[in-house]
Amino acid sequence: MTETLNILLKISLVIFMAGNLLGMGLQLRLGTALVGLRNLRFVSYSLLWCFVLGPAVAWGLSRVIPLAPPYAMGLILIGLTPCAPFLPMMVDRARGDIGYTASFMLLASVGMVATMPFAVPLLVESLSVSAWRIARPLLGVVLLPLVTGMVILRRAPAFAAKAQPIVKKLSGVATIIMLLLCVLIYGEGFIGSAGSFATLAQVIFYAVVTAGSYAVAFGLPQRQRSVLALGVCTRNLGAAFAPLFAVAGIDERAVVMVALGVPLQTIAAFAAARLFGARADAWLAGTGVRE
């Protein structure tokens, strides 16, 4: 029974990741994404926090907080996988720059596929897995759906407009199924993690990367800073699961640590979006800009 549930979890996880990124690609015009990618300051901050400081914070916390090695492994994998598929919803709540959201998601997706195969063996010494075994699922469920959606939008915009709502609904169903399966399979593990510092480590991680990326994004307008901070706050947990599911006999606590990120990052993202939204209102009022 447990083996069947694990298979169903992996299937729902693939549909969740691929569906959300395909749906984003069906709305993402390359010209829109290039607007933010031409802003070297925004790109520099994004790369720094996604692939240097974010992983560094996770690795540092895993050394400072007395976590069991499997929990530390899960935390580092979370640190390596920025930008959840639901980022646009958070940015909309924060009244951030939607155009820059597309740029950030494209940058994070491509960067994650390029860096994770080499960063995981370097930072997670106890996880013995080849670079290709990490890259293969990321190419299939992160980069390929995103590029496919963008190509469809460019070649057949009318079809893309009709397909996007359907893809969105299917992804929503897969998300609900995935969450239910996580509770069924790892419910006891969630309870068992109490007192292990696992939750504390993640709360500190989300707080540090969100506040840090927002505070030091010097020179960026408020609405772009909120995109950066929310992109760094939210994590692509499906990508964090990928290396764990690629290895047989992995300690379940590592999977539990990543699964814990589902509710914790959601709470952190909603709180940050509300705060940034209030600041956006003040910023817009101060500049006299009307939306």
Closest by CA to 238, choosing from 85, 120, 36, 118, is: 85
- CA separation for the pair 186, 249 (Å, rounded): 16
Nearest to residue 105, comparing CAs of 146, 75, 141?
A: 146
How much is the pLDDT for 192?
76
Question: 112-152, pLDDT tens digit by residue?
Answer: 989 998 888 888 877 767 777 788 888 888 888 888 998 99
Q: In which residue are the tokens 């639901």 written?
A: 86
Which has the closest alpha carbon to 120: 65, 81, 64, 66?
81
> How high is the mean pLDDT of the chain?
87
At residue 273, the 3 state secondary structure works out as: helix
Q: What is the number of structural domains in the chain?
A: 1
pLDDT value of position 291: 47
CA contacts within 13 A on the Cβ side of 55 = 20
Q: Concatenate the DSSP letters of all residues of 202-257 into one string.
A: HHHHHHHHHHHHHHT-TTS-HHHHHHHHHHHHSB-HHHHHHHHHTSTT--HHHHHH
Terminal Cα distance for the chain, rounded: 53
- 207: amino acid identity, one letter: A
Q: Which domain holds residue 86?
A: 2-285
For residue 290, pLDDT beyond 50: no
Look up the CATH number of the domain holding residue 176. 1.20.1530.20
The residue among 90 and 196 whose pLDDT is bigger is: 90
Task: Yes or no: say if 112 and 135 are a contact pair by the CB < 8 Å rule.
Answer: no
Please give the pLDDT value at position 286.
Answer: 61
pLDDT at 62 over 50: yes
pTM: 0.88
Instruction: With H, G, I as helix, E, B as strand and everything else as coil, classify residue 82.
Output: strand
| CB atoms near residue 53 (< 10 Å) | 19
pLDDT at 47 over 90: yes
Q: Is residue 290 part of a domain?
A: no
What residue type is assigned to position 183 of the chain?
V
Q: Report yes or no on 34 lying in a domain.
A: yes
Question: Do 240 and 78 touch, CB atoms closer than 8 A?
Answer: yes
The whole-number average pLDDT for the span 269-282 is 89
